[in-house]
Amino acid sequence: MAWELILWILSFVSVISLIAMTAYQLICLSDLEFDYINPYDSSSRINSVVIPEYIVQGLLCTSFLLTWHWFPFLITAPVTYYHVKLFMNKKHLIDVTEIFRQLNGEKKQRLIKLGFYLSLFVIVIYRLVITAVALLLEEDMNLLDSGTL
């Protein structure tokens, strides 16, 4: 049961990092829209976190699959497939010359991903709390059975 708690703690950290990376990308796009940053800097900053985001998302989905947590796996699988599809078609990076034309679409895409990651965050928090409470109750029952308490 302790391994399950470790899984949910790692999932919690992973989802927090995914939310942070997506929010960072949205901030960069908003700064570009309001002309606080030039297109080259904005695209290089966004492109620097795209691959780590895809890796964390893929590892999270794989960890759910390998630990037989089907519900979270089925939720994260479509996003992982979308990331793999973008990576294979070489459309995962933002082009400096096309960034202004794609600005609204890129912002919408990241807002949708942010909403997805926030809903996944709620699920992970719920499962983390349920697992921690179950583990504590199990330890208390073991202490009561052994007569130590």
**Domain enclosing residue 49, as ranges:** 2-146
How many domains, the chain?
1
Could you give the angle at the alpha carbon of 113 between the alpha carbons of 42 and 73, nearest 5°? 135
DSSP state of 37: S
Torsional class of 68: left (φ above 0), alpha (ψ -120 to 50), beta (otherwise):
left
Q: Considering all CA atoms of the chain, what is the largest pairwise distance in Å, rounded to the nearest integer?
A: 71
Residue 64 near residue 72 (C-beta atoms within 8 A): yes
Contact 99/45 with Cβ under 8 angstroms?
A: no
One digit per residue, the tens of pLDDT, for the chain of length 149 reads: 689 999 999 999 999 999 999 999 999 999 999 989 999 999 999 999 999 999 999 999 999 999 999 999 999 999 999 999 999 999 999 999 999 999 999 999 999 999 999 999 999 999 999 999 999 998 888 877 877 65
Q: Model-level pTM?
A: 0.92
